[in-house]
Structure 1
Amino acid sequence: MSQATCHTNPEAILQLLQDWTEAQWLRALDLSFARFLLSLEPQAPALLPLAAALLARLEGEGHTCLQLELFLHEPDRFLSGAPELITEIRHILAAWSQPQQWMDILSTCRVVEQIDRTQPKPHDDDSETPLVLDQGCLYLRRYWRDAQCIARTLTEQVSRRALNPIPADTLKPLLAQLFPADTSGSQENLPWQKIACALALRGRFTIITGGPGTGKTYTAARLMALLMAQHNSSSLRIVLAAPTGKAAVRINESLHNAIAQLPPLGQQDLATAFARIGPARTLHNLLGARPGTRRFRHDRQHPLDLDVLIVDEASMIHQEMMAALLRALPEHAQLILLGDQDQLASVEAGAVLADLCNHTGSYDSATCTWLEETCNCTLEADRRSTNPLASGVVRLQRSHRFNAGIGALADAVQQGQTSLAIQTLHQEAVLQWYEAPEIAQILQLADSHSGYRPLWENIRRGSGKNIEEHALWVQQILEQYGAFRLLCALRQGPWGVAGINQAIENHLQETGLLKTQGLWYAGRPALITRNDPQLGLSNGDIGIALPDPQGKLRVYFPGNDPLPRAILPSRLKYSESAWAMTVHKSQGSEFLHTALILPPQDSAVIRRELLYTAITRAREKFSLFAPKAGLEQAITRRTLRMSGLLSALQNSAN
């Protein structure tokens, strides 16, 4: 089939898409979407099915739109696959190499709406065309709608002032009491935790971003105390949430520890006030997810019953979830997001936190004056900005948690300094690098004192029949499991999660450490792979199968209660072994010792953000199984997700 035929014949393009699907470059879903649009518009130009299939494929890889200029200028940056296939795709795209060509052709299609930015657009968009063209970006309708919702809602939020603002002269001594060490107003050592609280008490939208150990939950605890002082603490409804059950448990623990260290604040009974705040919930649970649909019980017509919403691990929130959350937020409510913008973006489409943090550290003159009055610090002139969203974003700078070696490695990777990262790996005692990795080395580490060996020996010993002794034993097992973790960049293959888990189970069986026959065995860590509202379990929760006092196998899950929950294995329909897990699944967790496994062959999915996220899961020790060339490639390779959220924010601000 000639390229000329493809460029003029939609059916020829469909045949080409069929070939790409059979080569597993496209998903069946991508091909079906192209066919669906062509069925709606049989006389459509040949570009339409090609654009539809590419857009659907890119959405599956985390992009929320197709930015025409960026994509057509560097298609190889977004297309991966067999070299001969990519060459063929580039040749096809060569006939439509200019963004204006795409806009001129696609704007003639009935299934595409082109947004006219010279005309006001109604807030409640009721158009039904599957595709939208807006400022050089091609969207699936729902992703365009979500981006507009996020931009409009957050722009409105940041422009509103707090309901009961504290005067600067009242707030200043309260901040000094909660942050006694932050007395320096120098440019080099600004008190960002104090600044975060001051900004949050002025408006209704705040992002507190920063790496692990920079004090996000420490700051959030003090902010909650100030909010209670600002309002009547007995009536203020503060709700905590996180994207996953594991992250929800972690913020509960972190806030509990931070609250215990709070100094008295005036006449406020902080202990009683904090006790009224319930445990953090998952976003799905908070919004009331309707099984089998994309809908939630709470929306604009049925908003959440709260005054302040604090969401941790915000980097994990995908665009569709963020839009749903904002639609359910009461108009008067205050939203506070905590997260690390440099971590891996959400598994699903969008990089919302990274987009929102694009304006970090830029404040307008009114905001700078407020910070001078309340925090006694003067910001540099280049931190001033007229962008309204920027006044709600604070990046915490100093880490107080990491071993210095782990922190230095994380910084080098985050900044893309390959030579420094390699030098740090060689010099720091808490960093262990296997430059010529073998599966046997991974098993040796797992079967060591700094790996899973203490856990395996404790499982073999078992517990007494006494209920109290058994409960203590289960708690010890869960804590030991949480001390070490193997993380993989890939899911499949001998170096992926599936292969490493199988290798460990084979090792346990061969050495007699644990009997691993069958799916369920004593000691098996089980990671839940689908939400289960009936059991109260979320995707990402991990339990461990252990005998109960009567010797019957149960799966024990940590939670907000002092005692772990026990569930029959037969009730867990969707789970997988979790001696090793993906870096994505590890988000929201922290381990004393973390080991990252990269495959011997380089993979385009292994990027800087994945390395940074894995490194920052480790608190005391980090081990790396990776060839030098693959490590260097990963550090230099950045994740770039095409998104129209920044454009939508700029439009909403104007």
Structure 2
Amino acid sequence: MAETSFTGRINGIVFENNQDLFKIIDVDLISKLADYDRDNIRVTGNFGDIQIGSTYKFVGQVVVHEKFGKQFRVSSYEPVLPHEEGSLAKYLSSDKFPGIGKKAAEKIIASLGTNALDLIKSNPTEIENLDLTPKQKNSLLSGINQMDSFSEIVIKLAKYGINKKTAGNIYKAYHGDSLKKLEEDPYQAVGEIRGFGFRTADNIGQALGIELNDPKRVRGAILSILQSALSTLGDTYVALDDLLTQAYDLVQASSYDDLANSVNELQRQGKVVVSGDKAALQGIFQTELDISNELKRLVKNRVEKEKFSDEKIEHAINHAEEELEIKYDETQKKAIKNALNNPISILTGGPGTGKTTIINGILMCLKELAEIPSGALYSEDPPFLLAAPTGRAAKRMSEITDISAKTIHRLLGLGIGENDATDVNELNGEILIIDEMSMVDMFLFKQLLSGINSTKRIVFVGDQDQLPSVGAGNIFSDLIKSEAFPTTRLQVIHRQGEDSSIIKLAHAINEEDAEQIIFNKTKNYSFIPCQPRLVGDAIDQIVNLAIKRGFEKDDVQVLGAMYNGQGGITHLNDILQDVMNPMSSKTKVIEAHNESFRIGDRILQLQNNPEKDIYNGQIGKIIGLNPDDKAKILIADFDGREIEFSVKDLNDITRAYAITIHKSQGSEFPLVILNLTMQNYMMLRRNLLYTAITRAEKNLVMVGEKKAYLMALRTPGNDRKTDLASKIRHELGLKEVVEHDSNENIKQEQAQTEVKEEVTEPKDYILTPDLIYSGKINPMIGMEKIELKARD
């Protein structure tokens, strides 16, 4: 049968298979289609990147489906560029052309007319005459070039099992040469392309007939191991003997000599660095080196004459104590002196040890000693720069100091206007204080240091015992471990308020002395034994009871270790969504990645998005849904700012009634409900439990299996393999610190063995289905006498 064609506008996607890109799409006809007399048709076939609401020319055949009747089976398609002023302006300002908004689109149309896209496509030099920034010109040209090649590349990559998202990442890196590069050497993309691992490369390699012992494949395996250590474990290097052993197992067709030769070749190519008995990806090795050099610059550029005398500092501290109506102990005074008289200093301590009070003291003393007028604190170039990794942490910092604090990204101007990762704001001032440093990964830290210009003092504040950053590295711990900067460790608990039992529990966990108290029932915390399959029911009842007792819904946060499983985050969000934000007949709902989102839902941002100024771990609330507007399908409130989400942006959010402990870092909640069971045994570590417990401001309910909590208590946190501390000492000319083997692996094995032998709770004290559903047992065991109070 001969092929025919027609032009139509896509109304929606009826069905989509992300693996082979097969789609059934609903299309309104614009031009006539032979042997078809209706104005709407279902089009089937493999499609790459198509836009709902856009117009395309479809080539193929009309076929008859036995159930659905006439359909159009497409063999090829191409976008029809808009030529009407309104639709062209909307198209140019869409996410196909990042950085081009309504005003820039109007400039393009005013200069080139409604045939602008055709003109640029046939003659790219037309772009040079446009009144646009260099970044906008590049975006315009890149978007137009993608029209022809991207869809074709996506479809061809699908035959290798590569999904659309990874195909997009490949296209961003290699553009029109994507297929050529991958078919020449699929293993070169390992470590370069997000989502493209050794197994994916092997699928292509085997289809192309690449031998198992081909040097390209061996090099890909080595890069894959280094990349996996970085992205999965947060390690910045792999021990050389471990690397060779893992590569031998992965390749299964090479000798150790061949593997060693491949490592040497990767060094020659500038992709891997071997230093002593450690191997690292070149970019990661360089990032640690850059950080070390930046720290050296910041230390060496400061001069002794900027120091204040001990007498003046003591005098200023006395004034601060009078104003704050407190008394600093000697350790706290030492922290203030370190901050005032050193280019870089570090403050670490757990909850209740006085970090907040010390930050206030540092600022008050410096204001007096440097004779800073009060008005200057709120000027365009303030002398005090305060920042934290998350919006919540920055907001809390502002509240305690009464001085504006920003996220680190916002402070540096990352993602704002024309700024990119290498173009950051210069930071100048008397002092820079960064809070929640344990959350800062190596890449953000490098950007932060590169932006510091003439700032005289830098103070890094955090809790060394918390989980390390989600991103690679272990920056805060490495700064302390280097012993290159004055460090104050706060260990005395000063806060003795209503939440002090939680604080004491947190410190007992760090001191490995919590087993006798963690299962107690106190005024502020309680433990409820519960089988994994009943966790959802138990938490459902606890949350309902908390709300009845006066807790605001936004003050209740459920934490867990993992997304999957009976008590996993995903399952708990399904339950809690109906408790916290029940459906009504008028409730608007949209579906995305197997989740439903409703107006009023609490949501979590999963990726950094500097352009929107929202970051990984930030929590917001949905305030609007527009199912028919793909560019603004969802609107959410994040810390008082309205953020618009396109359909594509929905991949970066999830419901947040329950979140992982990692994502909760930098936030505190009046009531935390923590769920740990042996389903999470791979993640059960002391620092995970400690981090979770320190998220609770006033009340904590622990739910799950006793042996899971015991395993967490008895299992030290995994130390990330990083080389930053030694690099810092080397750059600063300090002697190497000898690290003693802590036998952490032996301790972990012992912990697992001991927990298996632990006696379980008496049967009648464990939550069972009968007890839960009959109401015979209170799901807040041990908290019956607690008066849950909403935040003042």
Output aligned runs, 1:28-427, within 5 Å.
Answer: 28-31=196-199, 44=215, 48-68=219-239, 71=242, 89=249, 105=261, 109-112=264-267, 129-158=270-299, 160-161=302-303, 164-179=306-321, 191-234=330-373, 237-256=383-402, 279-290=404-415, 295-296=420-421, 298=423, 303-358=426-481, 387=483, 389-391=484-486, 393-401=487-495, 403-417=499-513, 420-427=514-521
Instruction: Check the 8 A contact 1:161/1:202 in 2, yes or no.
Output: no
Q: Compute the RMSD of aligned alpha carbons.
A: 4.2
Higher strand share: 2
Q: More displaced, 331-340 or 132-141?
A: 331-340
Q: State the match for 2:728 in structure 1.
A: 649
- Listed as ranges, the gaps of 5+ residues in structure 2 are 1-185, 187-193, 377-381, 591-595, 626-632, 734-792
Q: Percent identity between the aligned chains?
A: 24
For residues 254-308 of structure 1, the C-alpha deviation after alignment (integer angstroms, 9 at most, x for no partner) is 223xxxxxxxxxxxxxxxxx5xxxx222222222324899942535xx7334442
TM (normalized to structure 2)?
0.57
Distance change >3 Å, CA 102–CA 240, structure 1 → 2: farther
For residues 477-499 of structure 1, the C-alpha deviation after alignment (integer angstroms, 9 at most, x for no partner) is xxx34422101111233322211
Q: More displaced, 43-52 or 494-503?
A: 43-52
SS in 2 for 1:614: helix
Offset of residue 58 of structure 1: 0.7
State which of 564, 571, 583 in structure 2 corresponds to 1:499.
571
For residues 653 and 689 of structure 2, what CA distance do their matches in structure 1 show? 26
Output aligned runs, 1:431-510, within 5 Å.
Answer: 431-437=525-531, 438=534, 439-448=536-545, 450-451=546-547, 454=550, 480-507=552-579
Instruction: Check the 8 A contact 2:478/2:725 in 1, yes or no.
Output: yes
SS in 2 for 1:588: coil
For residues 198 and 567 of structure 1, what CA distance do their matches in structure 2 show? 42
For residues 447-494 of structure 1, the C-alpha deviation after alignment (integer angstroms, 9 at most, x for no partner) is 11x358746xxxxxxxxxxxxxxxxxxxxxxxx344221011112333
Q: State the match for 1:557 in structure 2.
A: 637
Offset of residue 143 of structure 1: 1.2
Instruction: Check the 8 A contact 1:65/1:139 in 2, yes or no.
Output: yes
For residues 554 and 194 of structure 1, what CA distance do their matches in structure 2 show? 49
Distance change >3 Å, CA 104–CA 527, structure 1 → 2: closer
- What amino acid sits opposite 1:643 in the alignment? T
Offset of residue 60 of structure 1: 0.9
For residues 81-109 of structure 1, the C-alpha deviation after alignment (integer angstroms, 9 at most, x for no partner) is xxxxx9x949979986xxxx8996566x2
Offset of residue 326 of structure 1: 0.9
Instruction: Check the 8 A contact 2:307/2:340 in 1, yes or no.
Output: yes
Distance change >3 Å, CA 254–CA 513, structure 1 → 2: farther
Query: Aligned pair count?
Result: 508
Instruction: Check the 8 A contact 2:429/2:455 in 1, yes or no.
Output: no
Structure number with higher relative contact order (C-alpha < 8 Å, ≥ 6 residues apart): 1
- What amino acid sits opposite 2:684 in the alignment? I
For residues 586 and 669 of structure 2, what CA distance do their matches in structure 1 show? 23
For residues 525 and 368 of structure 2, what CA distance do their matches in structure 1 show? 44
Q: State the match for 1:617 in structure 2.
A: 695
SS in 2 for 1:424: coil
SS in 1 for 2:503: helix
Q: State the match for 1:544 in structure 2.
A: 621
For residues 405 and 60 of structure 1, what CA distance do their matches in structure 2 show? 36
Q: State the match for 1:123 in structure 2.
A: none
- What amino acid sits opposite 2:225 in the alignment? L
SS in 1 for 2:562: coil
Instruction: Check the 8 A contact 2:230/2:236 in 1, yes or no.
Output: yes
For residues 250 and 714 of structure 2, what CA distance do their matches in structure 1 show? 24
Distance change >3 Å, CA 132–CA 32, structure 1 → 2: farther
- What amino acid sits opposite 1:594 in the alignment? V
For residues 53-82 of structure 1, the C-alpha deviation after alignment (integer angstroms, 9 at most, x for no partner) is 211111112434334179579x9xxx9xxx
Distance change >3 Å, CA 46–CA 534, structure 1 → 2: closer
Instruction: Check the 8 A contact 1:528/1:539 in 2, yes or no.
Output: yes
For residues 294 and 317 of structure 1, what CA distance do their matches in structure 2 show? 20
Q: State the match for 1:265 in structure 2.
A: none
Offset of residue 615 of structure 1: 0.3
For residues 702 and 415 of structure 2, what CA distance do their matches in structure 1 show? 41
For residues 619 and 239 of structure 1, what CA distance do their matches in structure 2 show? 26
Q: More displaced, 159-168 or 403-412?
A: 159-168
Instruction: Check the 8 A contact 2:291/2:445 in 1, yes or no.
Output: yes
Q: More displaced, 595-604 or 144-153?
A: 595-604
For residues 515 and 340 of structure 1, what CA distance do their matches in structure 2 show? 42
TM (normalized to structure 1)?
0.67
Distance change >3 Å, CA 298–CA 429, structure 1 → 2: same
For residues 302-341 of structure 1, the C-alpha deviation after alignment (integer angstroms, 9 at most, x for no partner) is 7334442211111110011111111121155422111111
Distance change >3 Å, CA 643–CA 508, structure 1 → 2: closer
- What amino acid sits opposite 2:504 in the alignment? A
For residues 72 and 570 of structure 1, what CA distance do their matches in structure 2 show? 42
Offset of residue 442 of structure 1: 0.9
SS in 2 for 1:58: helix
For residues 501 and 326 of structure 2, what CA distance do their matches in structure 1 show? 25
